[in-house]
Amino acid sequence: MNLPFPPLLLITDQSQATCPLVDVVAAAFEGGCRWVMIREKNIGPKTCQKLLSDIIRQAKPFGAVVTINADVKSANLEDAAGVHLPQTNYDLRSLRLQLGQQSLIGVSVHNIKEGKAAIGADYVTVSPVFNTASKPGYGPAIGVKGFKEIARSLPMPALALGGIEPSNVAQLREGGAAGIAVMGSVMRADDPAQKVNDIVSAWHG
């Protein structure tokens, strides 16, 4: 399955957002984002489902893709484009049956072993590539070299996650990244649309 284009995955975290999350996402769409993952660990299932529904509605005029972290039930109820799985027990075959062959399924990985275990997913996020203000102390950061080793060992596309900025996008693409994933840098941005536009422009070179 092809990744959304441009291959920039925006991961939400309203605890870091400078304004209501729906406004941040709307600005991101205006800036060129076409793929959003809802990842809100501090809200209840009903609130999360409504948020997913609202953002799917926002995405439609842009032809954008909306997925959700871990919540397979909400993905089914709201007709999300797919799910992203944290590094816990999961059954990719069972998920395919539940969500359908067209669903976009991703897995978070941090090393080659976890990457190999995720074979069968449509993509993986590999993190943390660089130190990130979203998760201070999380790591250690693997750097471009570490990302490259993981990405080249896997048959599915790998997205670089953690400390992604316009200034390091080109070296990640050259290092084998099929795309990039961002969270805090857009959530905290004074101008999310411009931040997304800068990252997308850097990807295109």
Domain ranges of the chain: 8-204
The predicted-structure confidence for 14-51, as pLDDT tens digits, reads as follows 999 999 999 999 999 999 999 999 999 899 989 999 99
The pTM of this model reads 0.96
Let me know: does 48 contact 71? Beta carbons within 8 Å: yes
**Average pLDDT, integer, range 53-71:** 97
pLDDT of residue 137: 59
**Average pLDDT, integer, range 91-119:** 94
pLDDT of residue 77: 87
pLDDT of residue 136: 63
Q: 166: buried, middle or exposed (CB in 10 Å: 19+, 13-18, 0-12)?
A: middle
pLDDT of residue 139: 67
DSSP reduced 3-state for 139: coil
The predicted-structure confidence for 73-90, as pLDDT tens digits, reads as follows 999 989 899 999 998 778
With 90 as the cut, is the pLDDT of residue 182 above it? yes
The CA-based dihedral angle spanning residues 22, 36, 75, 13, taken in that order and rounded to the nearest 10 degrees: -60
Q: Which residues pair with 38 in a beta bridge?
A: 68
In this structure, whether the domain defined by 8-204 belongs to CATH 3.20.20.70 is answered with yes
pLDDT of residue 135: 66
159: left (phi over 0), alpha (psi -120 to 50) or beta: beta
Pull the structure tokens for residue 153.
């060992």
Pull the structure tokens for residue 6.
């441009």
> What is the b/e burial string over 40-77, where b = at least 16 CB atoms within 10 angstroms of the residue's CB?
beeeeeeebbebbbbbbebbeeeebbbbbbbbbebbee
**Average pLDDT, integer, range 149-177:** 97
